[in-house]
Amino acid sequence: MKRLRLPLILVVLVALALLPLYGTDTMIQFGISTLLLAVLAQGWNIIGGYTGYPSFGNSVFYGLGAYGVGIAMVQWQLPFAVGMTFGVVLAVAFAFLLGIPVLRLKGHYFAIATLALAQIMAAIVSNVPLAGENIGLVLPPLNNDPFFYEMSLILLVLATLTIWWLTRSRFGFGLIAIRENEEGAVVMGVDTTRYKVLAFALAGIFSALAGGIHAYWITFLDPESAFDITLNVKMIIMAVFGGPGTLLGPIVGSFILSAISELLSSEVTSIAGLFFGVVIVVAVVLMPRGLADVMRRFRRTGWHYFIENIRMHRI
């Protein structure tokens, strides 16, 4: 099975890369949205899946990346690449400035603190003239969906390769040690504060790049959409559904749930949100460790796997 994994991944990657050649405009646009969500899920996977800190603030990085591109292109008349760099700098600076105090919190305290960050940042940006205040910014249009699609795919590949590196590096082992037992990691000599802040910044880089691509693609930016709290929920759900702390789980979760959401929205628009919520609740109850864990254990335990999860996580 493991021997077939790499060839299968390569086949899927080639098929995705060639989508602009055979796909419709709708498929390409759906692909851009899905790939960017997968990037966000992989970014959250670094801090939430491998480090064990359930951040609800990654949409701040997304918004900073979007505004980095918007400010650079609209206010300073600079190229898109410079805007992407500026957005990453903003995200990394934010991660270091606020990561140190916020990452001292644990569990639900950390989750609540990071959830508030998006609202605070939206309020701040709404009063900054350079960022267009509440009105927002209108970016110069570039009607080239294949370009944005390929950019999104390349970014997802880079994020996944980074996760792959984490699984084989001393830094990644340190993050896993923090997730499993932070006090034990300290005893083992892991500089937990530095590791957590670096993981927070690394997650921020990919979220900021995704935000920059999305801002240039839709050509409009305002505080409410850039720092959308629901985006945090989406990336977390997709990562958890696929399997947090795994290489491909967040990608699989993003693709499956994006497809379900799109299908329900087109077929039963009025209750699409309800059906989508039910799917998530059932998935969390039956397989709280994601699809990756199901694939590892179902063949050995069968249907008892789901029964055991219901007993352990019953409400």
Instruction: Quote the CA–CA distance of 114 and 117 in Å, as a whole number.
Output: 5
29 SS3 class: helix
For residues 125-151, give the mean pLDDT: 94
The CA-atom distances, in angstroms, between 82 and each of 71, 103, 220, 268 are 10, 30, 18, 42
pLDDT at residue 290, as a whole number? 72
For residues 289-311, give the mean pLDDT: 67
pLDDT in tens, 167-221: 999 999 999 999 999 999 999 999 999 999 999 999 999 999 999 999 999 999 9
Residues in the chain: 315
What global pTM score does this model have?
A: 0.92
137 SS3 class: strand
6 is written with which tokens? 């790499």
27-228: CATH homologous superfamily? ABC transporter involved in vitamin B12 uptake, BtuC (1.10.3470.10)
> 315: pLDDT confidence band, cut at 50, 70 and 90?
very low
For residues 224-235, give the mean pLDDT: 89
Q: Reply yes or no on whether the pLDDT at 49 is more than 50.
A: yes
pLDDT at residue 109, as a whole number? 85
Q: Computed from CA positions of residues 300, 176, 153, 200, in that sequence, does the dihedral angle turn out positive or negative? A: positive
pLDDT at residue 178, as a whole number? 95
1 SS3 class: coil
For the chain, which residues make up each domain, given as ranges? 27-228
Instruction: Give the number of C-alpha atoms closer than 13 A to the C-alpha of residue 152, restricted to the C-beta side.
Output: 30
Crossing angle for the helix pair 25-44 and 229-242, to the nearest 10 degrees: 80
Nearest to 91 by CA among 202, 235, 217, 216: 202
For residues 21-27, give the mean pLDDT: 92
pLDDT at residue 282, as a whole number? 72
